[in-house]
Amino acid sequence: MMMNPDRLEYTTAQDAYFNYCWAPYQPVAPVENKYRPVTLLFHSFDWAGIDVGAFQVVQSLREAIGWFRTVWGVKRLGDRLAWEFYFYDYKRRERDVSITRVLKAIRPFVRCDVPINESLPYFMFSIDLNDDVVSGSRDLDVVHLYVGNPGSTVSSGIAYALRSESTTLENFYFFFDAGRQLKEAAAKIACSAQFDATKVDINRVLRPELRTCHTICIANKPRQDTVYFSGVNVDQLMFFLKTLAYPPAIIGFVEENRAKLDHLLYDVGFDYAAHGDQLRIEKSGFYGVF
């Protein structure tokens, strides 16, 4: 499917650049006449044929909290795509971008009645979107809330799933500097009930093609672990998309428009679990900002 040309967004001198933790970075190539990262999100919407409500949610969020304030993730789950939007405000209880504010902004298109306690010291939250949610066929029934993890020797966070009738622990995140803490990241991967490093080569997780990035994050989840590589370039993004078997149209768009996407840094990740000597990857994602 060809992308609607009206949804191609080009950079301006006022653009800001952030990674998936909403930390700023400097573009790695000239930015004139290049695509904004949201173009990849819109292309995924077009390819999947998602309801127009998805585009309206993006516009509502830009109007409500500002441009370049929302992190998006395009997820591959088997043979389908799904999306997650992330919101950061490191002021915690003195936050400006709150769950309440975001849910109010998108309520014309996405209904969510999960009760929110704004006194909790969260610095981040996220919501899952798919066609059913943005079309109004189903309510948004979970908000993912992230808090710090005092006592960790590296930057770390804890995620909870908030639902109308429950709050459940989802995962722990640990961040490592890719240049200085590669051994520590490898040790974290190996210290897990989900992965036996005596049977599976750790390089199948800590991919040499991707670890020349800025930051590596390891997450421990109930049924699998996850590795994220933050700050990869466009060629590494293409490697990731091909290795994780994204739809040919998604890969092709990046290949055909490499020259318009080479100024950006990207963030990628995948869930994994080892079963004997087999490594299973059932979910993966790549990230940007709008």
Per run of 10 residues, the mean pLDDT along the chain (length 290 residues) is: 82 97 98 97 96 97 98 95 97 95 97 96 97 95 97 94 97 97 97 94 97 97 97 98 97 97 98 93 96
81 lies in a domain?
yes
117 lies in a domain?
yes
Tokens 């109007």 belong to 63
22 lies in a domain?
yes
71 lies in a domain?
yes
Q: Which of 250, 249, 48, 5 is nearest to 135 (CA)?
A: 48
88 lies in a domain?
yes
Q: What is the Cα–Cα distance from 165 to 67, expressed in whole angstroms?
A: 33
Tokens (6 digits) for 21: 């933790």
Question: Which sign, positive or negative, has the C-alpha torsion 110, 52, 132, 243?
Answer: negative
Q: What is the Cα–Cα distance from 76 to 111, expressed in whole angstroms?
A: 24
Q: Which of 245, 240, 252, 260 is nearest to 1 (CA)?
A: 252
202 lies in a domain?
no
pLDDT (0 to 100) of residue 1: 56
pLDDT (0 to 100) of residue 6: 81
276 lies in a domain?
no
156 lies in a domain?
yes
pLDDT (0 to 100) of residue 120: 97
**Long-range CB contacts (< 8 A, 24+ apart) of 203-208?**
204/279, 205/272, 205/279, 206/182, 207/243
Number of folded domains in the chain? Answer: 1
What residues contact residue 83 under an 8 Å CB cut-off, 6+ apart? 41, 44, 54, 72, 73, 74, 75, 128, 129, 130
- pTM of the complete model: 0.95
Where in the sequence is the domain holding 129, given as residue range(s)? 15-174+231-270+285-289
Tokens (6 digits) for 92: 């915690």
